[in-house]
Amino acid sequence: MEHAVNRDPAAAAPFVFATAQYESGDWDSAPTLPANLIDSVARYTSLPVAPQGVAVALASDDALRYPLLFLTGHLPVRFTPAEGRVLQRYVERGGLLFIDDHNHDVDGAFHKTVTEEVARLLSPLKPLPNTHTLYTCFFEFDDGPPTTSHELNGWGDNLIHEQLLAVQRDDRIQVLYSNKDYSSEWNFHPDNKRFLGKDPTRFGVNLVVYALTR
Amino acid sequence: MPSRADAAAVAPADAWRQRAEWAARAVALVALALAWWLTGRPFTPNALAATDAVAAHDVQALADVVSDPRRAAVDLPLDSVPDAASRAVLHAARQAGVAVVWWVPTPSGSLPALAISTAALADPAGGTRVRVTGRDSAPAVLEDSLGWLDSATVLEGGVQWPVTGELRAFSVNQLGTHGSVGAPAKRQVGRVRLYAAPGWEARFVMDALEEAGWEVDAQFGIAPRVTRTAGAPAALDTARYAVVIALDSVAWSSAPAIARFVADGGGLLLFPDAAAGRAFASLRVATPGALLAGVPGGLRTDTPRRGLPLQPLTVLGAEAVVLERSDRAEQPVSVAAARVGAGRVVQAGWASTWEWRMLGGDDAPDAHRSWWRTLVQRAAYAPVTDRADAWSPLPGDAAPLADLVARLGPAQPMAATATRTGQERQAGTPSLPAPAPAWLYAVAALALLGEWWSRRLRGAR
């Protein structure tokens, strides 16, 4: 017996922000980031967005249900075989994986291991041109990825990273990699957003728009 | 001068001679009468039975046989339809007066009635749909000049192949019977215009169609007064667009323009969320029913669309043609089409097809792309372009058995062939003048010569 489902045809399916949960490392190192990004998507766009993000196991096929997967951490990353298989399927079939180095340190354990894993499972990361559509698809970022206040905070490599890295296919980003520590930049208490001169999560809105339209 | 009495008193030897002369006259008359009778009766041909069926497919052997002036008839056992050249030779022989009859030396007594047709696909990559009608449950092989392309078993009398690429001609072989047909004239296809909200469904529809070679235009509303475009959206016109895809309620505001586009010949793919709006009431092929959730785990089965949400098409319009049924209980209609104005509307009941691509089995991206490609082909406005170098196969090769029957008449029953007389073999074939046997004339001439010689020796005139 099949059951009918009630749904408003005029209502589009909402965007759900998903954080990738992997076995090694600390996948939940930026716990308030999803709420801040969801707030920005709802604030600046008319895209329907789910009010709560989800944490989805990278080893589960459930990860394939989300257009954008966010992956962050400080610690070494080694994907399990199951995580590797899902990651490959996710990326090959059209998902966008955004990896942010919470250490903002090119000599750090997270950077070294996760870039190795991406190269092993997918393809080596390469610099993404600052003229890419990602930087203009909603907010305009003429100089490429916005600089964070954490890049020169005395921790990490103390470098301004001019470009993000990416794995692309046919001009479409499959994996986007950042050493700019957006995980720290966007991981503020939601109440503090009003005190920020310029909303740092605006680039996150571009990520969501890009993931949904290209 | 001898008197009548002298003449009456004939010597006994002369009496015997006169009797022999009368006998010679009688023999001559009988021979001439027999020759006349034989000339008047129907001719029994010197029928040729080909030594085996292979001989019927050897053009040179056939040409040698039918051009032999001693042959007045050809009797062919055929295990398959001869090729076009052989059929032409036999037809020419028949037209020239040679009696040609054929029969099938198998229990069925018939040959595959093969017929081939082609239609250009409305697809940017070109391609042809080859449809074959042939003997049921028998394998058919599709070939081109380089070799095999595909094979399939003919079911319910027909089989079809979509063939990609630019091929000049196609041949089909079923049970040894060959047919061939030229590629159809190409079709000119425009772009695809997508009306949809930003999201994975829209994105994956674009991905699938772009991977298949289509150029897709879309405009996504991201925020009030902010849109993001894909491709180069422009006003709807059949000169630019082949198909409009209305995925959801975003299309409602453009329904009047879409209706004009369809009336002008354009194609429309209508999906449940778009079809639900009153704006599309005049274009709907059917009424969407209640939404049924996808069958859990269905995306990983051999029929992956079971796993997709479905709004069955419940009340079909009078013009609607069912294109696809779901394999769920009661097999509800999932895709149907109708002509509207000069265009076509294809309405699908499936929703969230992106799940198929992301969550389906290993071949899911290919299958998803192929399904969307076929759907667009069915609706697309694609006028045929003239092609000067279109290649034509030999006449009659698209339906070889029909051509054989048209040229030579139907097959003779095998049993009748085995027992029929020469006269029966001639049934339905032109009657020929029969030659009189020469020895009859020789007998008549010799008899008359002997009679004359005898009379001269005895002094009579």
Give the pLDDT of residue A182: 93
B239/A contact by beta carbon, under 8 A: no
Using CA atoms of B236, B241, B243, B247 in order, give the dihedral in degrees to the nearest 10.
-50
Residues 6+ apart with CB under 8 A from B258: B195, B236, B244, B246, B251, B268, B280, B283
| β-sheet with B158-163: strand ranges across | B115-120, B128-133, B158-163
B118: three-class secondary structure by DSSP: strand
Nearest residue, CB atoms, B358 vs list A13, A64, A212? A64
Give the pLDDT of residue B179: 87
- Give the C-alpha separation, B410 to B93, whole Å: 16
- Put simply, the answer to whether B222 touches A46 (Cβ < 8 Å) is yes
Compute the radius of gyration of chain A from its Cα atoms. 17
pLDDT band at B74 (very low <50, low <70, confident <90, very high): confident
Query: Between B427 and A163, whose confidence is greater?
Result: A163
- Give the C-alpha separation, B363 to B421, whole Å: 64
CA distance B273 to chain A (A): 5
User: Residue holding tokens 């010949």?
Assistant: B265
Residues 6+ apart with CB under 8 A from B5: none
- Give the C-alpha separation, B420 to B418, whole Å: 6
Q: What is the mean pLDDT of chain B?
A: 84
Average pLDDT over residues B34-52: 60
Give the pLDDT of residue A141: 95
Give the pLDDT of residue A4: 63
- Give the C-alpha separation, B15 to B13, whole Å: 5
A55/B contact by beta carbon, under 8 A: no
Query: Between B280 and B93, whose confidence is greater?
Result: B280
Task: Assess contact for B106 and B148: CB atoms under 8 A.
Answer: no
Q: How many CB atoms lie within 10 A of CB B166?
A: 11
Q: Tell me the three-class secondary structure of B283-300, residue by residue.
A: CCCEEECCEECCCCCHHH
Report the range of poorest mean pLDDT among A79-93, A130-144, A161-175, B75-89: B75-89
Of the segments A123-127, B23-27, B119-123, which one has the largest average pLDDT value?
Answer: A123-127
Average pLDDT over residues B198-212: 94
Nearest residue, CB atoms, A9 vs list B220, B272, B364? B272
User: Residue holding tokens 């062919």?
Assistant: B76
User: Residue B215 corresponds to which tokens in the numbers above?
Assistant: 């150029």
pLDDT band at B429 (very low <50, low <70, confident <90, very high): very low
User: Residue A43 corresponds to which tokens in the numbers above?
Assistant: 């604030």
Task: Assess contact for A188 and A32: CB atoms under 8 A.
Answer: yes
Nearest residue, CB atoms, B358 vs list A5, A94, A209? A94
Task: Count how many residues are written for chain A.
Answer: 214
A3/B contact by beta carbon, under 8 A: yes
A8/B contact by beta carbon, under 8 A: no
- Put simply, the answer to whether A46 touches B292 (Cβ < 8 Å) is no
Render pLDDT for A36-64 as a digit per residue (tens, 0 to 9): 999 999 999 999 999 999 999 999 999 99
CA nearest to A78, candidates A119, A116, A30? A116
Pairing of strands B216-223, B191-195: parallel
Give the pLDDT of residue B419: 45
- Give the C-alpha separation, B31 to B333, whole Å: 84
Give the pLDDT of residue A3: 60
Give the pLDDT of residue B392: 63
Average pLDDT over residues B257-284: 95
Average pLDDT over residues B244-272: 96
Render pLDDT for B306-350 as a digit per residue (tens, 0 to 9): 999 999 999 999 889 999 999 888 889 999 999 999 999 999 999
Check pLDDT > 60 for residue B409. Answer: yes
User: Residue B440 corresponds to which tokens in the numbers above?
Assistant: 């009859």
Query: Between B243 and B434, whose confidence is greater?
Result: B243
B249/A contact by beta carbon, under 8 A: yes
- Put simply, the answer to whether A45 touches B202 (Cβ < 8 Å) is no
Render pLDDT for A196-206 as a digit per residue (tens, 0 to 9): 778 889 999 99
- Put simply, the answer to whether B221 touches A138 (Cβ < 8 Å) is no
CA nearest to A84, candidates A51, A47, A126, A116? A116
Give the pLDDT of residue B389: 52
Give the pLDDT of residue B430: 45
* Beta-bridge partner residues of B48: B74
Render pLDDT for B143-180 as a digit per residue (tens, 0 to 9): 888 888 899 998 887 898 888 877 788 888 888 888 88
pLDDT band at B431 (very low <50, low <70, confident <90, very high): very low
Q: How many CB atoms lie within 10 A of CB A74?
A: 16
Q: Where does residue B353 rank: exposed (0-12), middle (13-18), buried (19+ CB within 10 A)?
A: buried
Give the pLDDT of residue B175: 85
Give the pLDDT of residue B385: 72
- Give the C-alpha separation, A108 to A159, whole Å: 13
Render pLDDT for A65-117 as a digit per residue (tens, 0 to 9): 999 999 999 999 999 999 999 999 999 999 999 999 999 888 899 999 999 99
Q: How many CB atoms lie within 10 A of CB B224?
A: 8
pLDDT band at B56 (very low <50, low <70, confident <90, very high): low
Cβ-Cβ contacts under 8 Å, A173 against chain B: none
Share of chain A above pLDDT 70, in %: 94
b/e burial code for range B109-142 (CB count within 10 A of at least 16 → b): eebbbbbbebebbbbbebbbbbbbbbbeeeebbb
Query: Between B67 and B132, whose confidence is greater?
Result: B132
Render pLDDT for B350-391 as a digit per residue (tens, 0 to 9): 999 999 999 999 999 999 999 999 999 999 998 877 654 556
pLDDT band at B44 (very low <50, low <70, confident <90, very high): very low
Pairing of strands B48-49, B73-77: parallel
